[in-house]
Amino acid sequence: MKKIDLHTHTISTVSDSDFEFDLSKVQEYVEKLELDAIAITNHNTFDSRQYFEIRNSVSVIVFPGIEIDLEGGHILVVSDTNEFEISDFEQRCNRVSSLIRTNDEELTIEQFNDIFPDLSKYILIPHRDKKPNIKQEIIDVLNPHITSGEVASISKFKRAYKDDDELVPVLFSDLIFKAQLTNFPTRQTFVDLNEISLAGIKSCLFDRSKIALTKDSGNDFFQATDNGLLLSTGLNIILGGRSTGKSVTLDKISASSGNAKYIKQFSLLHNDEERFNETNKARLSLIHHNFLGEFRKVVEKIVQVDVEQNHIDINNYLDSLKKFASENEKKDLYSKCVIFSENAYTINDLTNLDKVIKSVETLIKNNEYQDIIQKHLDISDLKRLAIELNQKAIDSNIENNKKSWINSLTSDITRELRIKTTGAVIEDLDFYRIGLDEVKVEKFEKVVSILKKSREIHKEELGKFSIVTSTKEMEGASDLQKVGRDKKMYSTAFRSYNTSAYQYLLGLKQLGVEDANLYKFFIRIESITFNEDGFIVSGGERSEFNLIHEIQDATKYDLLLIDEPESSFDNDFLNKEINAIIKHISTLMPVVVVTHNSTVGASIKPNFLAITQKSIEDKEFVYRIFTGYPSDKELTSADGKKLENYETLLSCLEAGLEAYNERKEKAYDILKN
C-alpha cells in the first residue's frame, strides 16, 4: 500500500488568500505523514520552475497538476512526471491561466476539452462530495476518464465507498504550504501499489477495493493526528490519569481534522443562560425566516404602493379633465390633433411566462427525479412545450418593444404639441395601476389580520426536551423596540397596529425602518423550551439542553470531540440521554470522547479504546497513547509498548480494583441487602 496526496497548493492565486510559500513545510509534511507521492495542484496555474524545485527537495514522487474552475466546480488534472509531458502540460495550463484571470471566471466544458484533447494522458479527479462540486452532467461528458471523486471528510468517504453507484472516493489534504503551518491535516488516501506511477494510481482509482483510509486497517480506522494515532471511524473513548495528555490529544485531533465539532470541558457551564439564549435566538432566526419568507415578499411589494399620491393624481386628473371640457371650444391647431390625447400602450408583464419556462426547463433537466417525471409527462412533450413557451416569450418581447417604441415616439410628439398649445391638457393617469394598488392594500389588510392570529408554528423534540415556537400579536411599542434593537419612538406607528396594517407599515417606514426589515414588525415569534414533565426548563436543565443541542449540531461537521462531559453533568443524564445520542452520531462520523467516568467510558460500549499515560524515562517525561479494542487483553503504543487493559480500565474508571471491590461490597451490596 502506498500513501498519496494529490491535492496541495504552493502558489497564492486569485482563488486563494495571500500566503508565503515555505518549501521546508513540504519536506516536513512528506516525512511526518510518511507519504509516498504528492501532486502540486494550484488553482488554474502550473509553474514548472517551482515544481522542479519541490521535486528536487523531497524524497517522494511529485506529480505536476492543476486545480481548474470548471462550470461551477473544481477538478484536479494530474499529469505524468517525464520531461516531455511536463513541458506539454505547462503550455496547456498557461492557456487555462489566460482564460481565468479573476475569481469569477471559469472554463466551459468546451474550452476544457479544447485545451486537454487527450484526457487519457491524465488523472482527472472532480470535487464530488466537496464544495464546489462538479455537476453530474459534466462528469457524464468526461466519461470514461473520470472514475474517482474527491470527498471532504472521512464520513463522506465511507458513505461513497459503500455505494457502488458512486465514484471511487479519495480523500486529500487540500493543504497550503505556508510558513505558519504547525499541524498537518491527516486527509490522505492509500492505494494498493508496490511502485508509484501515474498509470498505477490510475488503475487503483478504477477499483474501490484498491483504495483505503489506512495501510493495514482498511476503512474502519483513520489517522487522527499527524504523529500517527489511528482511531476508529466509529466511537472512540480516551482514558487516562490527570495530566497524561488527554486534552492535548483532542486538540491535535481537532487541528488535523479541519472541520471538527469540539465540546470542551466545562464550556457549557460558562455563561449558561447567555448560551441558552443564543441557541434559542439562532433557532428563532431560522424559523422566523422560513415562516415569514412569503410575507416578506408581500411587504416589499406593498411598501411601494403610495395610496395618498394616487388620490392626489386622481384629483389632478379630474381637475385637468374639467378644465379641458370647459375649454373645448377654444382648441387650437395643436390640441385638435388626434395624437394630442392619445393613451400609451400597456406593456405586458412577462414575469409569469418566465416562471413557467423555468419550471418546464427544470423538469426537463432534472436528473434526480427523472424516472418519476417521465411516468406522468413525456419528455418530448415537455420539450415541445418549452419551445412553444420560448417562442411566445420571443413574440411577446417583440410586441413589448414595438409598444415601447411607439409610446416613446407618441410621448415625444405629444410633449411638443402640449408645449405649443394654449389649450388645457388632460393629465396622464394609469387607472389600472391605481385600481390594482387599491386591491393590493385591501388584500394586505386581510393577510395581516390572518397572520396576527396566535398559532403554534413549530415543535422540535431534542432528547428529553421539547421546543415549542408560536406566534403572537405585538402588545406595544416595547415589543417593536426589541425587534428593532434601537430606541426609535415606535409608539406613533403602533397606534395604527390594530386599525390599519397599511398605515402601520407607512408609520414604520417614516420612522426610518429599512424596507428589508419591515416584515419583522407585524408579529412576535416566541420559542419556549419544556422539560420531559412539560415545565419550562430550569437553570440546571439549560446546561443539559445545551449539551444535547451541541452534540446534535455535530451533524454539520466531519468529526465530534467531547472532553469530559461528566465534569458538568450527572450520571443518570449521561446514561439515559447522552450515551444514546453519541452512539447514533458515531454511526454518521468518527466520535472521540475523553472521560474518566464509567457511565461514559464503559457503559457506552465504544468501538475503540485509547489510554494516555505519562512516565519518567531517563529523567524526562514521556507521553504515550496505548490503543486497542475494548475486548483486547493488552493495548499497544506506537513504539510497541504493552499495557494490561483490564487493570488499567479499572484504575481510570473506578480508582483501581481494590477501590471498586470495596465500593461494591461495603456500599452497594449493603444497600441491596
**Interacting residues of 314 by C-beta distance below 8 A, sequence separation 6+:** 429, 434
d(Cα 148, Cα 270) in Å, to the nearest integer? 46
Beta partners for 8?
40, 175
Mean predicted confidence (pLDDT) in 30-44: 96
Mean pLDDT lowest among 63-72, 212-221, 327-336, 583-592? 327-336
**Interacting residues of 567 by C-beta distance below 8 A, sequence separation 6+:** 265, 266
In the structure, what pLDDT confidence band is assigned to residue 2 with cuts at 50, 70 and 90? very high
- Whether residue 329 is predicted with pLDDT greater than 60 in this model: the reply is no
- Whether residue 255 is predicted with pLDDT greater than 50 in this model: the reply is yes
- Beta-sheet pairing, 211-212 with 189-191: antiparallel
Rounded to 5 degrees, φ, ψ at 111 are -65, -40
Model pLDDT, residue 598: 62
Q: What is the percentage of the chain residues whose pLDDT exceeds 90?
A: 55
Peptide bond into 185 cis (omega under 30): no
In the structure, what pLDDT confidence band is assigned to residue 389 with cuts at 50, 70 and 90? very high
- Whether residue 316 is predicted with pLDDT greater than 50 in this model: the reply is yes
Strand runs labelled E in 455-599: 455-462, 465-473, 523-530, 559-563, 591-594
Measure the CA angle with vertex 45, ends 40 and 49; round to 5°.
65
Q: What is the percentage of the chain residues whose pLDDT exceeds 70?
A: 89
The answer to whether residues 149 and 161 touch, using CB atoms and an 8 Å cutoff, is no
In the structure, what pLDDT confidence band is assigned to residue 668 with cuts at 50, 70 and 90? very low
Beta partners for 536?
530
**Interacting residues of 483 by C-beta distance below 8 A, sequence separation 6+:** 520, 521
Mean predicted confidence (pLDDT) in 172-177: 95
Q: Buried (b) or exposed (e) across 304-319, using 16+ Cβ within 10 A?
A: ebeeeebeebeeebee
The answer to whether residues 237 and 601 touch, using CB atoms and an 8 Å cutoff, is yes
In the structure, what pLDDT confidence band is assigned to residue 243 with cuts at 50, 70 and 90? confident
d(Cα 390, Cα 387) in Å, to the nearest integer? 5
Query: Which one has a higher pLDDT value, 56 or 464?
Result: 56
In the structure, what pLDDT confidence band is assigned to residue 17 with cuts at 50, 70 and 90? confident
How many beta carbons lie within 10 A of that of residue 68, not counting itself?
28
- Whether residue 660 is predicted with pLDDT greater than 70 in this model: the reply is no
Mean predicted confidence (pLDDT) in 120-133: 95
The answer to whether residues 574 and 599 touch, using CB atoms and an 8 Å cutoff, is yes
Dig out the grid coordinates for 667 from the structure. Answer: 456500599
Model pLDDT, residue 606: 87
Mean predicted confidence (pLDDT) in 454-470: 88
- Beta-sheet pairing, 642-644 with 634-636: antiparallel
Nearest CA-CA partner of 205 in 191, 221, 216, 217:
191
- Whether residue 664 is predicted with pLDDT greater than 60 in this model: the reply is no
Q: Report pLDDT digits (tens) over 581-622.
A: 888 889 999 999 988 766 565 677 889 999 888 888 887 888
In this structure, what DSSP letter does residue 21 have? Answer: B
Model pLDDT, residue 344: 77
In the structure, what pLDDT confidence band is assigned to residue 671 with cuts at 50, 70 and 90? very low
- Beta-sheet pairing, 559-563 with 591-594: parallel
Mean predicted confidence (pLDDT) in 27-46: 96
Model pLDDT, residue 570: 66
Model pLDDT, residue 68: 97
Query: Which one has a higher pLDDT value, 464 or 324?
Result: 464
Peptide bond into 144 cis (omega under 30): yes
Q: Report pLDDT digits (tens) over 57-69.
A: 999 999 999 999 9
In the structure, what pLDDT confidence band is assigned to residue 10 with cuts at 50, 70 and 90? very high
- Whether residue 488 is predicted with pLDDT greater than 60 in this model: the reply is yes
- Beta-sheet pairing, 620-628 with 230-232: unpaired
d(Cα 460, Cα 42) in Å, to the nearest integer? 45
d(Cα 649, Cα 646) in Å, to the nearest integer? 5
Mean pLDDT lowest among 273-277, 442-446, 459-463? 273-277
Model pLDDT, residue 646: 77
Helices 431-451, 501-510: axis angle to 10 degrees equals 100
In the structure, what pLDDT confidence band is assigned to residue 422 with cuts at 50, 70 and 90? low
Model pLDDT, residue 667: 45
Model pLDDT, residue 259: 86
Arch. (CATH architecture) of 2-223: Alpha-Beta Barrel (3.20)
Mean pLDDT of the chain: 87
- Whether residue 657 is predicted with pLDDT greater than 70 in this model: the reply is no
**Interacting residues of 486 by C-beta distance below 8 A, sequence separation 6+:** none
Nearest CA-CA partner of 295 in 120, 528, 518, 538:
518
Query: What are the structural domain ranges in the chain?
Result: 2-223, 246-259+557-672, 266-293+440-556, 307-439
d(Cα 565, Cα 594) in Å, to the nearest integer? 8
- Whether residue 496 is predicted with pLDDT greater than 90 in this model: the reply is yes
Model pLDDT, residue 670: 47
d(Cα 261, Cα 557) in Å, to the nearest integer? 6
Model pLDDT, residue 421: 64
**Interacting residues of 457 by C-beta distance below 8 A, sequence separation 6+:** 287, 291, 469, 470, 471, 525
**Interacting residues of 22 by C-beta distance below 8 A, sequence separation 6+:** 177, 178, 179, 181
Beta partners for 146?
none
Integer angstrom CA distances of residue 527 from 417, 484, 543, 547:
65, 18, 17, 18
Model pLDDT, residue 207: 94
- Backbone torsion region of residue 35, taken as left when φ is above 0, otherwise alpha when ψ lies between -120 and 50, otherwise beta: beta
In this structure, what DSSP letter does residue 665 have? Answer: I
- Whether residue 261 is predicted with pLDDT greater than 80 in this model: the reply is yes
